[in-house]
A and B are shown apart, each in its own frame.
Chain A
Amino acid sequence: AQTVTQSQPEMSVQEAETVTLSCTYDTSENNYYLFWYKQPPSRQMILVIRQEAYKQQNATENRFSVNFQKAAKSFSLKISDSQLGDTAMYFCAFMKQYAGGTSYGKLTFGQGTILTVHP
């Protein structure tokens, strides 16, 4: 079984600054995917960024980037130039890659980090 741990229940950052959210995971799998999801007060979960475990290069999406350390089983999210709209709960999630390289499977989530961006 996989476990995902987010050790920061709450974080805050000033607008325009940079913040890093931490995530560690435990698995015996070698092939898997990692995700960061954002859940604003509206409850709608939105995918922020994903990382395939076989890729050494860290994923980036505009102001969002990850630091993926496979050996350490660490997957942190860096948000640059924070904006008020980034205020939300952020979830780190793990998905095992099933036989045949299928893209379907259940997500295992961490406990979440509430991020507040202050003006």
Chain B
Amino acid sequence: GAGVSQSPSNKVTEKGKDVELRCDPISGHTALYWYRQSLGQGLEFLIYFQGNSAPDKSGLPSDRFSAERTGGSVSTLTIQRTQQEDSAVYLCASSLALEQYFGPGTRLTVT
């Protein structure tokens, strides 16, 4: 079956612009996660959604970052007023149980 998909695969934006990153989880998976992978910080958790529960936003680095999950499926991660330090690969994962299945990521470059 189809895995987790993310779009775009690469995004270049100018400092100060807003960006939206999209994640399509595996159908039927109730949990959805966002992680960020950067050279300086490694792989770090950002936010996760589980069913109808309030999302765990404890990993969001600033209030410029937000995410939503519509209809329990697709999720969008929004970064407002992008900064150069936001340059990273943003990974999405979904799960039905213990194993998290990852997408290929979106490489964001802020110039």
Contact = CB atoms under 8 A, between A and B. Distances in A.
Contacts of A112: 42-43
Interface residues of B, number: 26
Given A103-B95, A104-B95, A107-B35, A44 B59 contact: no
Main secondary structure of the interface of B (DSSP, over half): strand
Given A42-B104, A44-B104, A45-B102, A108 B97 contact: no
A102 to B, nearest CB: 8
B93 A45 contact: yes
Interface residues of A, number: 21
Contact of B45 (A91, A104, A106): A106
A25 interface: no
B99 interface: yes
A33 B99 CA distance: 11
B42 A106 contact: no
Interface of B: 30-31, 33, 35, 42-45, 48, 50, 56, 58-59, 89, 91, 93, 95, 97-105
